Amino acid sequence: MTTNARLNPEEMESIKLIVVDDHQIIRDGIRSMLAGQTGITIIGEASSGIELFKLLDQNLPDVILMDISLPGKSGIELARQIKAHAVTYKIQILFLSMFLQEEYIQQAIKAGASGYLPKNVTQQELTQAIKQLAEGKDYYADEISKIIFKSFLNKNRSPEADNRQKELSIRELDILRLVATGYNNQQIADQLFISIRTVETHKNHIMQKLELHSTADLIKYAIRHKLTEV
């Protein structure tokens, strides 16, 4: 089933979202969760890749909220297709899945996903994730970050510290360790008694100094250089 309602001027200013899941009850639940949220408009629903691309031909969203398990092509395959047409489809992909095994998460990140949530996500976190992706940021639920952390614990470890690491301040190292441990921005801010905006600024500086591009890269870097422990 697809929907593509005509948008009023207020809706056009909000984040445009397409929901992709082959279960109507899940799509209905997501619509219900987001119904009272300002700034997010569901412009379409799809139960398969075929339906999704029909929607994309009509109206491009800012974010696609998608399951991994779909009839025909999987959500991961669809993400690869969308990212392969990055010039045409400037879209952020957020996975909402019951699959929490590391291989699924790794494949999703490699396919170009900018976020990953479990299906027991709260309304607040779902809204936060959608808004962060729309701003061009990554978002991984706490338990997803911890899985990423563990999956890279014994991989790609370097016995020598990267020289770029020396450019990091003590505060930046503290934040890098907390990110790798699975803390979200709010938890880091609470832990270090600073604002969320300051945390985001530090994370941006860390990524620039280390030439990294995402939270997942930060986690892998911290583990590889033994800056944190489980």
In a domain, 2, yes or no: no
pLDDT confidence of residue 87: 64
In a domain, 230, yes or no: no
Provide the H-helix boundaries in the chain: 9-12, 24-34, 49-58, 75-84, 102-110, 123-134, 142-151, 170-181, 185-192, 196-210, 215-224
Are 120 and 189 part of one and the same domain?
A: no
Tokens at residue 134, please?
A: 């729309």
The dihedrals phi and psi of 139, each to the nearest 5 degrees, come to: -150, 120
| Domain count for the chain | 2
Are 54 and 106 part of one and the same domain?
A: yes
Sheet (strand 139-140) strand order: 40-46, 15-20, 63-66, 92-97, 115-118, 139-140
**What's 54's domain CATH number?**
3.40.50.2300
Are 105 and 64 part of one and the same domain?
A: yes
**Spatial contact of 83 and 111, defined as CB atoms under 8 Å apart:** yes
In a domain, 37, yes or no: yes
Q: What SS3 class is residue 114? A: coil
pLDDT confidence of residue 161: 47
Are 129 and 218 part of one and the same domain?
A: no
Q: Which of 140, 166, 187 is the last residue of a domain?
A: 140
Are 159 and 128 part of one and the same domain?
A: no
Are 90 and 22 part of one and the same domain?
A: yes
**Spatial contact of 141 and 125, defined as CB atoms under 8 Å apart:** yes
- pLDDT per position in the chain (230 positions), as tens? 444 444 454 445 799 999 999 999 999 999 999 998 889 999 999 999 999 999 999 999 999 999 998 888 889 889 999 988 866 678 999 999 988 877 788 889 988 999 999 999 999 999 999 999 999 999 999 989 888 877 665 455 544 445 566 677 777 877 888 888 888 899 998 888 889 999 999 999 999 988 888 888 888 888 777 666 54
Are 136 and 172 part of one and the same domain?
A: no
Domain of 17 in residue numbering reads as: 9-140
In a domain, 72, yes or no: yes
> Residue 64: how many CA atoms within 13 Å on its side-chain side?
31
Are 90 and 162 part of one and the same domain?
A: no
Are 129 and 175 part of one and the same domain?
A: no
CA distance 11 to 8: 5
Helix (H) or strand (E) holding 41: strand 40-46
- Nearest residue to 185 via CA among 204, 199, 203: 199
Are 87 and 127 part of one and the same domain?
A: yes
In the chain, the amino acid numbered 173 is L
Are 21 and 134 part of one and the same domain?
A: yes
In a domain, 165, yes or no: yes
In a domain, 3, yes or no: no
